[in-house]
Amino acid sequence: MTNKELAKKIIELVGGKENISRAAHCMTRLRLNLKDNDKIQLEDIKAIKGILGAQIQNQQLQIIIGPQVGSIYTEVASFLGTSEEQEDGDGNGNNKKIISKFLDVLSGIFIPVIPGIAGAGMLKAIIALLKAMGLVSQDSYTFQLFNMMADCIFYFLPFFLAVSSAKIFKTNITLAVALAAALLHPTLLNLATAGELTSVGFFGLPVRVVNYTYSVIPIVLGVWILSYVYRFVDKHMPNVMKVIFTPTVVLLIMVPLELIVLGPMGNYAGSALTKFITYLFTVNSFVAGFIMALIRPITVMTGMHQGFTPVIFQNLAELGYDMLLPTMFMSTMAQFGATAAMYFKTKKSEQKSLIISSSFSAIMGITEPALYGILIRYKKAFLAACLGGALGAGYISMTGFRLVSFASSSIVSLPLYFQSNVPDVLIAMFISIVSAFGLAIVLEKPEVTEEKAATGTQIMAPVSGRIADLSSVSDETFSSRVLGDGIAVIPSEGMVYAPINGTVTSLFPTNHAIGIASADGLEVLIHIGLDTVQLNGSNFEAFVKQGQEVRQGDKLIRFELDELKKTYDMITPVLILDKDRILSFDKKAGDYVSFGERIMTVSRK
C-alpha cells in the first residue's frame, strides 16, 4: 500500500475529511482531532498493514506509524487541502479538558521545532567527539564556526517558537517573528550581557533587562496575547487601512507589552519552574531521577512527555545545564533492553523481525515502535522497562550528572554525555539496559508453541468461574459433544480472554461466540451463555475482529453478566473442535478457576 493509499484509507476510517477538525503529527504519530469520535473505526485502523497501533487519548485519535509518519501526514494534508494542520472552530475542541488543550498546544508548538533541535543536538555531539579525539582545537576558527552551527537554533530558539506558536494560535507569523526579534535585538542583549543595569525606562515605564536567548515561555506567552490583540485590531480597523495600520498598531501595543510585562513575567515563571525542579533533585536526587524515568514510558504513550520540553530549555537557559534529559536517556536505554529481551521469548519469525527493528529504533531514540509494537503486548516487559530505566536514572541523578546542552535520547548522543563523568554514564547505561533485559527475561513467560510443548498445548480458562462438566449443559448440541469435547464454565465475571495464542477464525456478529485457531491447527470455540444469540449483540462488546492475531490473556469479549443472567443461562462451553486431540482435563467439575489458569491439555499434530 502506497503512502497515498494509506492516507486515503485512514481518512475513510475516521469518517471522511469533513469529520477532521485538525491534523498534525509528531515523530511517530499521526494526530487527528475529530468532530465526532463515534465515527472512528478503531479496530479497522489498527488492522491496516504499516500501522503499529491506534488509540484515543484526550479525545484525540493518535495513529502510531513510526518515523515515516511525516510522509503519511503529507498525503493526509494533501487530501484535506492544506499543508498545515486543519482546524475547525466547531469541532470537539471546546469539549476537551483544559489539561488536554494545554498538552495539544505544547505538542503543536514544539513538535515542528524538534527536527531542527535534534539536528543541532547531533552537531553538538559531533563537535564534542572531534574535540575529545583532538581533531580540532577549541581556539581554532573551525571549532568556533562548527560550534556556531550547532548552537544557532538554541540561541535563536524564540524565533523558531514564534513561527510554530503563530500557527497554533492562528495569528500573523511575521508579527510573531518581529516580537521575537524585539526580545533578541542587540540593543537589549548588549544591556543584558553588560550586567550594569537591571532595568531601563521607556516613556517612564520600566523595561527589565533580560537575556532572552534560549528562552521559551516569554515568546510563547507573547504570541498567545498577540493573537488576541491582532484579531481585535484587525476587526476594528477599516479595510482600506488594514495593510499598513493593523501591523503598526499591533507592534505599538505588543512590543512594549512584551518587554515591560509579558517577557519578564515569562522569565519569572520559567525561573520558578526551574527552581522547583532543581529543588526536587536537591532534596533526593535518586528518588527524583527514579520517578522521572519510571513514568517516562507512560507519558510518551499519553503524549504528556511534551510537557517537559519547555522545562528542559528553561533549565539550559537559566542554569546552563539540565538534569531531566539524562533520566529520559536512561529510560530509552531500558526500553531497548526490555524489547530486545522479548527476542528470546518468542518463536515466531515475524515477531522476531519486529522486535529487531523496534529495538534498533529504540536505541536510536524513537521508542514508539517498541512501546506500541512490543512492550504494550508484553505487559511484564513494559514493567521491566519502567523499572530498569528508573534504576539507571536514579543512579545517574545520584551522581550529580548534568547535561550542558540539549541532546536527543539516542545512542548517537553519547559524545555529549561523555564530556564528563564517563564511568558514571556507562554504569547508568549498564544498569538501565541489563536490569530491564533481566527483569523482562525473568518476568515474561515464554510463548507456548508446538515446538516447546512436548506434552501438548495448554488451554487456559477464558473466563473466571466454576467448572462444570459439558454433559451438564442443557443444550444438547454441547452436552452431546457433537461439536467437540471440552468443559463449561459458569462465569463469575463478564470478561472473556484468549485461552491460546492464535488467530480469530470466527466472531459471530452478535458477539456471543468466538473461535480461535492456533498455528498448529488447534481450534477452540467459546460460546457465552445459552440462547444469547437472541440478543443480537446487546450487552456484548468485542475487543477483537475476525482475522486478528491474539495472545493468551488478550481481552476478547466483554458481556454484562449481571444483566444477562436474569434471563439467560450463562454457562459458557469451551470446546476443542477436534475432540480426539484432548489428552487431559486439568480441572474437574466444581473447581473454581480464574482466567489464565490451565484447564485442558491438548495433543499436538
Residue 204 pLDDT exceeds 50: yes
Mean pLDDT, to the nearest integer, of 70-75? 83
Last residue of a domain, one of 253, 280, 307: 280
Residue 12 pLDDT exceeds 80: yes
Q: Give the DSSP H/E element, type plus range, for residue 384.
A: helix 379-398
Whether 537 and 519 map to the same domain: the answer is yes
- pLDDT of amino acid 83: 46
Whether 348 and 488 map to the same domain: the answer is no
List, for residues 115-148, the tens digit of each pLDDT value.
787 778 778 778 877 877 788 888 888 888 988 8
DSSP conformation class of 388: H
Whether 174 and 238 map to the same domain: the answer is yes
Residue 151 pLDDT exceeds 70: yes
CB-based contacts of 556, cutoff 8 Å, min separation 6: 462, 496, 497, 498, 504, 514, 526, 542, 543, 544, 550
Whether 472 and 554 map to the same domain: the answer is yes
Residues in the chain, overall count = 605
Beta carbons of 457 and 604 less than 8 angstroms apart: yes
List, for residues 542-587, the tens digit of each pLDDT value.
999 888 888 888 899 999 998 898 888 999 999 888 777 777 888 8
What is the C-alpha to C-alpha distance for residues 68 and 52, in angstroms, rounded to an integer? 12
Q: Classify residue 423 as exposed, middle or buried by CB count within 10 Å of its CB (0-12, 13-18, 19+).
A: exposed
Domain-embedded: residue 136: no
Q: Which of 110-119, 203-212, 296-305 has the highest mean pLDDT?
A: 203-212
- pLDDT of amino acid 104: 67
List, for residues 523-547, the tens digit of each pLDDT value.
898 999 988 877 878 889 999 988 8
Report the CATH number at residue 542.
2.70.70.10
Residue 67 pLDDT exceeds 70: no
DSSP conformation class of 345: T
Separation of first and last alpha carbons in the chain: 36
Residue 308 pLDDT exceeds 90: no
Last residue of a domain, one of 421, 443, 465: 443
The 10 Å Cβ neighbour count of residue 573 is 25
Report the CATH number at residue 65.
3.30.1360.60
Q: Which contacts of 271-280 are long-range, i.e. CB under 8 A and separated by 24 or more positions?
A: 271/314, 271/318, 273/310, 273/311, 273/314, 274/311, 274/314, 274/315, 274/318, 274/319, 277/311, 277/315, 277/323, 277/324, 278/315, 278/319, 278/323
- pLDDT of amino acid 100: 59
Catalytic-role residue among 25, 305, 512, 527: 527
Domain-embedded: residue 451: no
Whether 439 and 461 map to the same domain: the answer is no
Show the cell assigned to 62.
493518535
Q: Where are the alpha helices (DSSP H) in 258-284?
A: 263-283
Show the cell assigned to 21.
477538525
Q: Please count the structural domains in the chain.
A: 4
Catalytic-role residue among 25, 26, 386, 512: 26
Question: pLDDT category, 58, cuts 50, 70, 90?
Answer: low
3-class state of residue 256 by DSSP = helix
Residue 511 pLDDT exceeds 50: yes
- pLDDT of amino acid 99: 57
3-class state of residue 138 by DSSP = coil
Domain-embedded: residue 478: yes
CB-based contacts of 407, cutoff 8 Å, min separation 6: 121, 124, 125, 325, 329, 413, 416, 417
What is the C-alpha to C-alpha distance for residues 568 and 570, in angstroms, rounded to an integer? 6
Question: pLDDT category, 21, cuts 50, 70, 90?
Answer: confident
pTM of the model: 0.55
Question: pLDDT category, 275, cuts 50, 70, 90?
Answer: confident
Domain-embedded: residue 538: yes
Residue in the structure block whose three cell numbers are 547535561: 403
CB-based contacts of 287, cutoff 8 Å, min separation 6: 394
Say whether 25 is catalytic: no
Amino acid at 232: F
List, for residues 340-390, the tens digit of each pLDDT value.
999 888 877 767 887 888 888 888 887 877 876 788 778 889 999 999 999
The 10 Å Cβ neighbour count of residue 181 is 14
Domain-embedded: residue 304: yes
Q: Which of 59-63, 192-196, 413-417, 555-559 has the highest mean pLDDT?
A: 555-559
Whether 274 and 291 map to the same domain: the answer is no
List, for residues 222-233, the tens digit of each pLDDT value.
999 999 999 999
Beta carbons of 472 and 479 less than 8 angstroms apart: yes
Mean pLDDT, to the nearest integer, of 221-246? 90
Whether 13 and 162 map to the same domain: the answer is no
DSSP conformation class of 113: G
Residue in the structure block whose three cell numbers are 515523530: 27
Q: Give DSSP secondary structure letters for 460-490.
A: EPSS-EEEE-GGG-SSHHHHTTSS-EEEEEE
What is the C-alpha to C-alpha distance for residues 202 and 215, in angstroms, rounded to an integer? 23
Whether 290 and 431 map to the same domain: the answer is yes
Whether 250 and 288 map to the same domain: the answer is no
Domain-embedded: residue 449: no
Range of the domain at 297: 284-443
Last residue of a domain, one of 249, 280, 311: 280
3-class state of residue 529 by DSSP = coil
Say whether 386 is catalytic: no
Whether 416 and 493 map to the same domain: the answer is no
Return the higher-pLDDT residue of 588 and 290.
290
Whether 413 and 461 map to the same domain: the answer is no
Q: Give the DSSP H/E element, type plus range, for residue 89.
A: none
Whether 248 and 299 map to the same domain: the answer is no
Angle at 377 between CA 374 and CA 381, to 5 degrees: 70
3-class state of residue 515 by DSSP = strand
Q: Give the DSSP H/E element, type plus range, for residue 597.
A: none
Domain-embedded: residue 264: yes
Domain-embedded: residue 128: no
